Structure 1
């Protein structure tokens, strides 16, 4: 077990709550984490002495928390395979997901997903192999995906997920040229009443959904867009660009047409700017455009107006 991602150190400051339980709540421990700390072997030391939740601390006290070990779920089988690690420390793991692989297993346990590969990777490193998926991507979307290494790191990341401290940028190739070239798509998204696995614009029951877009390059019949997610709805970018009349090339589910130039939606999560929830360092992480989208770009540049 890699010990360093289970140890947290704090010096008690003037504005910190002094009762241990209240301090932990103040520092974003969830109720389930408090329960696990208490009942599953977590330890708390104040000035090198073991203490319980009701202990009262003073300013300047040194607190050491050893998080409980986590029992990995049996639902996710470890499966060995290559993963492209973009960033890793003792709190989080960011990988570049290829197209054509799901983020998490569905009911059937036998197909390989990113969660299975990451679990095998963590086991090989003797780390906590509980899977904490922070961001997921559709099977046919490529790019950066974030896993947390402990439930505490997961809850810290969850709390900044839809804020400016966790910025998600995508590149997409869409049909046509958008006017204006940049803007905000602010349309509520709900579940499609006919096909439950699809989403649509639903002004009555949809959830607020916002995507900022900017045109980076125009081609005779298409555009390369940079998109920033302000909310995190299922299929958000795909639904939003389709709603304004510019579906993603290759996204036959929403465009309604099969495109021989691309056998998946041309959508890639290429950049994450994350303020690290523990170190407060700004992580600027990137994943280059995958080969199939680079080839599509070449095709689009070479086409005549049609």
Structure 2
């Protein structure tokens, strides 16, 4: 959404939401009788689309004289005060009400989330499985039952962090076709077993998949996919190291396989040598994703905090 500018200061004589909401609210004065949706359309178009404006109501961003209103045809009277809670604050409320997945950003083209560990991106076999795709599909259909979302990329079930979904097939195709060119920063945080000797390094190899569907790394070109991983040591103790990992290429299981190849598998990664399960999850988190917006081409960057368990284990 495009940021909203307030036409006038908040009216201290009107009842208001709780103090936290008030800090995130801008206000407008009703100058003539009208219906609420018509007022919002006149105020915010063409900077915002009709569907984006309707989402303000769905997400309970709109207050009239301090009370939340969701009805499109709610009558307005001259002199009333319209308060709009900004999108970030509204998304925090929506997450609690509609989904277990924090929404970092949303507009008409994309939806960016902070995926929890232990959640599949999409079910491979069971259509009833509780996945990010299923929850987010239900989330967007609250706004309009015809809405859909589309998978752009995936995170492993036990990897948490930043993911982006498309809202139309055209946006999905645009993102996937230009993914390598559009993504300017793709950073992960990893907890690996043992003390990494080098404070920073680059791992280069070729990744192939065997008949058991397991990825393996070779230092020479054997016809596999070229993969480049950069890492920097953040902190470590005698048992574990916390790494900041930047992907130059994005291959399947790239970080997990590369960490195994240098003798420091990711904690909790039994598939690739990380039998230590001190975190009770995979020690991999998608911390930052920066890319060009598929429609506007404006640079976007999203960050998810490093899990506290990662920091505590490597102190």
For the aligned pair, the TM-score class normalised by the smaller chain equals 0.5 to 0.7
Deviations 1:52-100 (A, max 9, x none): xxxxxxxxxxxxxxxxxxxxxxxxxxxx742210111111100011011
> Residues 275 and 266 from structure 1, CA distance in 2 versus in 1: closer, same or farther, beyond 3 angstroms?
same
2:292 is matched with which residue: 267, 271, 275?
275
Q: Distance in 2 between matches of 1:148 and 1:166?
A: 18
- What runs of 5+ residues in structure 2 fail to find an aligned partner? 1-48, 53-97
Matched, 1:152 2:170: yes
2:139 is matched with which residue: 110, 115, 121?
121
Q: Which residue of 1 aligns with 2:216?
A: 200
Check whether the contact 1:128–1:149 (CA below 8 A) recurs between aligned residues. no
Q: Distance in 1 between matches of 2:299 and 2:145?
A: 24
Matched, 1:134 2:152: yes
Q: Equivalences for 1:22-61 in 2 at 5 Å?
A: none
Check whether the contact 1:128–1:150 (CA below 8 A) recurs between aligned residues. no
2:281 is matched with which residue: 264, 277, 287?
264
State the superposition RMSD in angstroms: 2.1
Deviations 1:256-276 (A, max 9, x none): 5243x2222110001111121
> Residues 231 and 4 from structure 1, CA distance in 2 versus in 1: closer, same or farther, beyond 3 angstroms?
farther
Q: Distance in 2 between matches of 1:280 and 1:212?
A: 27
Where 1:269 maps in the other structure, the secondary structure is: strand
Q: Distance in 1 between matches of 2:168 and 2:149?
A: 8
State the 4+ residue runs in structure 1 displaced beyond 4 angstroms: 2-5
TM-score by length of 1: 0.66
1:181 to partner: Cα distance:
1.8
Deviations 1:175-198 (A, max 9, x none): 2233332122111111133x21x2
Q: Which residue of 2 aligns with 1:300?
A: 314
Where 2:313 maps in the other structure, the secondary structure is: helix
Q: Equivalences for 1:8-19 in 2 at 5 Å?
A: none
Where 1:249 maps in the other structure, the secondary structure is: coil
TM-score by length of 2: 0.65
Please, which moves more after superposition, 183-192 or 122-131?
A: 122-131
Q: Equivalences for 1:47-126 in 2 at 5 Å?
A: 81-126=99-144
Check whether the contact 2:291–2:301 (CA below 8 A) recurs between aligned residues. yes
> Residues 130 and 265 from structure 1, CA distance in 2 versus in 1: closer, same or farther, beyond 3 angstroms?
same
Q: Distance in 2 between matches of 1:126 and 1:166?
A: 32
